[in-house]
Amino acid sequence: MKKLILASASPRRASLLRLLDIPFEIAPSNANEALDTILPPAEHVREIAQRKTKAVVHRFDHALVLGADTIVALEDAIFEKPNDAKHAADMLAQLSGKTHQVYTGLALTDTETGQTLTEVATTHVTMRVLSSEDIATLCRHWGFYGQSRCLRRAGARLCIYTIYIRLLLQCGGFAACVLLEPLSPSGRAIALGDHTRK
C-alpha cells in the first residue's frame, strides 16, 4: 500500500482525513501561494493545491501526496485570510446576510508515476445578518496558537466551529460544510483507480 502524504500542517484537514479512516503522514508544504495572474476561484484553488503537492513529492517514494486549498468568494471576488482583526471584521460585514461560495481544490499526485488527479468542490453558504456586536464577538474570540481563529481562516468565516454554525441560514454542498472542507472529492480521488494499493 502506498503511503498517503498530506501536504499541509492544517489540523482541520488532518481531522477530516482521519474521518476517512485512511492512514497518512503529514508533510507541510512551503509552496508559494501567491498568484501572478487573477484566476476564477475554482481554478485558483486547483492551482494552489497542485503547487502544494509539487513542493512535497520529491521527498517521498512510493507515495501519494495530497494538497488542498480553500478560499471564500462572493460574486467571484476572492476573500483571502485576513491580515488583522479590522480586515476580518470588514470581511464578515461583507458576507453578512449573503450567500457566498467556498471552493476547495484538491490535488493528488503519485510520486512514482507523476500522475496528478485534481478536483474542485463548491459549497454555497448563506450567512445570517450579523450585527456589529456579532462581528466584534467573533473577531475577539481567541483560539489556538495565541491568534484569533478569525485571522486563521480564509474569508474570516471559520472563526469557530461552535459559533459559526449559528451564523448560517443554509449550507448546500457536502456534509462537512460547517468545516468547509468537502470530504467527498478527496475520498473519490484516493479511491480512483485503487491508487492506494499495489
Q: Would you please indicate which residues are annotated as catalytic (active-site) residues?
A: 69
Helices (H), the chain: 11-19, 41-54, 85-95, 132-139, 161-164, 184-191
Radius of gyration of the chain measured on its C-alpha atoms: 17
Closest CA to 105 of 57, 49, 52: 49
Residue 7 identity: A
Q: What are phi and psi of 123, to 5 degrees?
A: -120, 130
Cell numbers found for residue 184 = 467527498
Cell matching residue 122: 463548491
d(CA 140, CA 153): 14
